[in-house]
Amino acid sequence: MQNVYHIALLDDEPCYTDIIREKIEAFGLEEQLFIDTYNTVHDFLRSKHIYDILLLDIEMPGMDGIHLAKYISNERTLVIYVTNYADRMEDAFGINVFRYVLKSKIDDKLKKTLQDAFEFLQENADFKIRTDGGYEMLAQKDIIYMEYFAKDIYAYTKDREYIFRLYSMERMMNALNNRFVQINRSNIVNIEYVRSVRGFELQLKDCDKMLKISRRRKNVIMDALFQMTEKL
C-alpha cells in the first residue's frame, strides 16, 4: 500500500506551478500524491484545505510567502520554498518551514527534498491510517472529535474525515494523549476545540457540532477544561 500525501503549489506565475507539477508527476515517486495549484494567496486561503506539504514562492503580490508561512504556522503543513530569492532565506525560516529549493535547481534538488519531507511526515505522524488509496498520516492535534459507529471510529478534522477500521473506544483512548476526553459511549473530543459546555451539551469550534455529555462523564470533562485553562 502507498502512503498518500496532499500537496499544494502556490506561485503567482502559472507557468511555474505548471512546470513544478509536471516535474513532480515525472519523478516517479512511490507515494500517491494529490496536487492542487494556486496562483494567489487569496485562493489558497479560501480553499481552507490543510495540506501535508506546501510548495511556496516568496515574492508574490500582497501577502508574500514569508508572511503566509508565518500565518499558517499553527497548522501541520510543511512549507518548502521554491524561489529565486536565496537572499531572503534567513527571514523565511520559521516553525513549519522545512527547506528551500532554488527554481534554477528544481531538477537537482526537488525530488530529494520531497522524499525527505515524506519521511519526516511519516516519522512525526501520530496515526498511519489505511485507506482505499493507500496510507494517510494524521496528527492528533488536528483531530476535533471522534465517533464510534458499527465497530469503526470516525475521526473528524477541520476539512476531512478519517476512518479507523475495527477500532474499539478503549483502544483509541489508550492511543490518544491527554488532550482527549471520552464524553459518552460513542464520542471522544479534543478539549482544545471545545467552544462551550451548557448543561449536558458540548459545542465544538471549527465544525459547529453539538454533542451530548453523559451524566457520569460531566465532571471529567469540566476538570479537563479547567486544567487546560490553567495552562494558558
Do residues 197 and 183 make contact, with C-beta atoms less than 8 angstroms apart?
Answer: no
Query: What is the gyration radius of the CA atoms in the chain, in angstroms?
Result: 20
In the predicted model, what is the mean pLDDT of the chain?
89
Query: Dihedrals φ, ψ of 201, to 5°?
Result: -125, 145
Q: Which helix (H) or strand (E) holds 139?
A: none
Q: Which helix (H) or strand (E) holds 228?
A: helix 218-231
CA–CA dist 131, 203 (Å, integer) = 29
Does pLDDT of 83 surpass 90?
A: no
Q: Which residues lie below 8 Å from residue 1, measured CB to CB, with a gap of 6+?
A: 130, 134, 135
Rounded to two decimals, what is the model's pTM? 0.70
CA–CA dist 83, 63 (Å, integer) = 15
Predicted pLDDT at 135: 81
Share of the chain above pLDDT 90, in %: 58
Predicted pLDDT at 88: 66
Predicted pLDDT at 69: 85
CA distances from 206 to 65, 109, 159, 209 (A): 25, 37, 9, 8
* Domains of the chain with CATH codes: 3-130 (3.40.50.2300), 141-231 (2.40.50.1020)
Q: Of 227 and 79, which is predicted with more confidence?
A: 79
Predicted pLDDT at 91: 63
**pLDDT tens digits, 90-135:** 666 665 788 989 999 999 999 999 999 998 888 887 888 877 777 8
Strands 3-10, 145-149: pairing is: unpaired
Do residues 120 and 99 make contact, with C-beta atoms less than 8 angstroms apart?
Answer: no
Share of the chain above pLDDT 70, in %: 92
Does pLDDT of 1 surpass 60?
A: no
Q: Which of 24-33, 72-81, 145-154, 161-170 has the lowest mean pLDDT?
A: 72-81
